[in-house]
Every structure is written in C-alpha cells, then in structure tokens.
Amino acid sequence: MKDTQTMERRLACSVDDLECGSSMTLQGAVRIAVYRNDDGDFFATADTCTHENWSLGEDSDLEGNEVICPLHMARFDIRTGRPLCLPATIALATYEVQIEDGKVYVLC
C-alpha cells in the first residue's frame, strides 16, 4: 500500500452498475479489476493476471471470492490477491474500495 498522501481516488462505477458475481476493468495508467462478489461486496486488484498478460476484470470468471483467469485457469482470492492454484504463484496487488453515495471508488 502506498502512503495515503500520494493516493489517487478513482471513480469506478455506480454500485448498481456491477451485478453480483461480476467484474469490470477500470482503465488508466494502472489498470484495475473491480469485482462484486455474490454477497454484493466490492473488491479491487491489479487487472493483469500475474502468470501471463490477461485482463481479469474484463474476461474472467468469479466463483465466490475467487477470480479465475480464462487463459490458463489461474485463481486468485479477490480479497487478498493471494494466488490459490498453479500456474499462479505471485499475488495480485490489492486496492482499497470505498463506497460513497452509491458510487464505487478505488484508492490507488
């Protein structure tokens, strides 16, 4: 985590924009995957699979709190970024999510 002083707060979407069990990619210099799990909670990680270059926000599958990369079936915990199965061995960076007035913000 970076120092809060240098952090940027980026608007990802409205709460209602993202269905439970789905994800999106927040474009920008640092691409961020934003997920909403089946319970309606939001999480954010780096968008690119740590195994091979692929977007987790745009083209992936969410199972509970696990995101699966469609290229080689690597899995990560969206809450911690932790790799859960091979071929992933490196964790995803995670970002804090804030919900305010029905909007979803990511601190990065």
User: Site for other proteins (CB under 8 A): which residue of 60, 76, 78, 92?
Assistant: 60
Residue 78 touches other proteins, criterion: CB under 8 A: no
Residues linked to residue 45 through DSSP beta bridges, in sequence order:
33, 94
**Count, residues in the chain:** 108
Are 57 and 106 spatial neighbours (Cβ–Cβ below 8 Å)?
Answer: no
Q: Interacting stretch for other proteins, rule CB under 8 A, among 25-33, 34-42, 84-92, 100-108?
A: 84-92
Pairing of strands 22-26, 103-107: unpaired
Residue 41 touches other proteins, criterion: CB under 8 A: no
Binding site for other proteins (CB under 8 A): 58-61, 63, 68, 70-73, 85-87, 89
